[in-house]
Amino acid sequence: MPIKVVDQLPAIGALSAENVFVMTESRAASQDIRPQHIAILNLMPNKITTEIQLLRLLANSPLQVDVELLRLDDHVSKHTPESHLNCFYRYFSQVAEQKYDGLIITGAPLGLVDYEDVTYWDQLEGILSWADSHVTSTLFLCWAAHAALYHYYGLQREIRGEKLSGVYNQQLVQPLCPLVRGFDDEFKVPHSRYAQVPKQRFAQHDDLHILAESDVTGPYLLQNSSGSRVFVTGHPEYDVNTLADEYQRDLAAGQNPRIPEHYFPGDDPAQPPLKLWQSHAFLLFSNWLNYYVYQATPFDLGAIGRK
């Protein structure tokens, strides 16, 4: 079944052109079925691009997914038109009393900023605490994964000597875990970040389980024992040209970036890259929706968080 979104959301046209089935609210209203309610807290600067990336992955499921886009209170987005945000997003304060089957928190370009120096850190910490009693399972992407690991477990990241940028092979560590059901023993994932948490620090927490990793990227995919928290330190949602766009952006800014590794054919930025990670990205989101959201959530959303 498809995802359900507001009728006029621009992502509908882009995804329809890819033959991705997206159901509008008006059509979904005629169906007598309990959809999965998924909220996306979009922290990325270009929110429209991120919407398309995430909705593409959520749409690859037999479940009907009712998506709600959220924004932070008192935070001004500089790269997305305010008219778009006003039309398609709700402030978190407007939904704080609601409960959701699932929540996705995206990355943010804050890899070199101390958590406590992030302008919205206090509100984000409040949202993370709120999610424990209002959401069945939360999926954290890239910066949000590290921020959540710090909030929940006190795991401080380390800043790398240079930015990790490229497409890297990941190896399965726990192949029988439902979240990676159907995964190959080795698969590719884009990464784009300055920080990582050393692997040995995870051993201090019995509730954290590494599902996939590599020597270069460190732990990539983790979850807690219940599956209510899923941490993804890479960017499986990235489009084929996202790393190229970031590379050109950094070049234009005079940062002298390293060419993304294992991305351009022959490491030649003049050659168009190939998208070699999409199948596992689809599988990751499908498994999360099925095993950690749909199978775990009560039919009555109000029952989430009840003891």
Instruction: Kindly tell me the burial class for residue 114, based on how many C-beta atoms sit within 10 Å of its own C-beta (0-12, 13-18, 19 or more).
Output: exposed
Known binding-site residue numbers for substrate? 163, 192, 249
Pairing of strands 135-141, 65-71: unpaired
Each of the 307 residues of the chain gets a pLDDT tens digit; together they read 456 677 778 887 887 787 565 666 665 555 445 789 999 999 998 899 999 999 999 998 888 899 999 999 987 777 788 899 899 999 999 999 999 999 999 999 898 999 999 999 999 999 999 999 999 999 999 999 999 999 999 999 999 988 999 999 999 999 989 999 999 999 999 999 999 999 999 989 999 999 999 999 999 999 999 999 999 999 999 999 999 999 999 999 888 899 999 999 999 999 999 999 999 999 999 999 988 998 888 888 888 886 5
Domains of the chain (ranges plus CATH)?
3-154+197-237+277-302 (3.40.50.880)
Rounded CA separation 203/50 (Å)? 33
Instruction: Please report, as a single letter, which amino acid is at residue 6.
Output: V
237 is catalytic: yes
From the candidates 51, 213, 237, 246, give the one annotated as an active-site residue: 237
235 is catalytic: yes
From the candidates 142, 209, 213, 280, give the one annotated as an active-site residue: 142
Contact status, residue 223 vs residue 231, Cβ threshold 8 Å = yes
Alpha helices in 116-192 (DSSP H): 121-134, 143-153
- The one-character DSSP state at 227 is S
Whole-model pTM: value is: 0.88
**Residue 232 belongs to what H/E stretch?**
strand 229-232
For the CA atoms of 237, 130, 151, 288, what is the dihedral angle to 10 degrees? -30
From the candidates 37, 146, 209, 235, give the one annotated as an active-site residue: 235
Rounded CA separation 123/148 (Å)? 13
284 Cβ contact partners less than 8 Å away, ≥ 6 residues apart: 57, 179, 180, 221, 232, 236
Rounded CA separation 167/181 (Å)? 21
Q: Estimate to the nearest angstrom the gap between the alpha carbon of 80 and the chain centroid.
A: 18
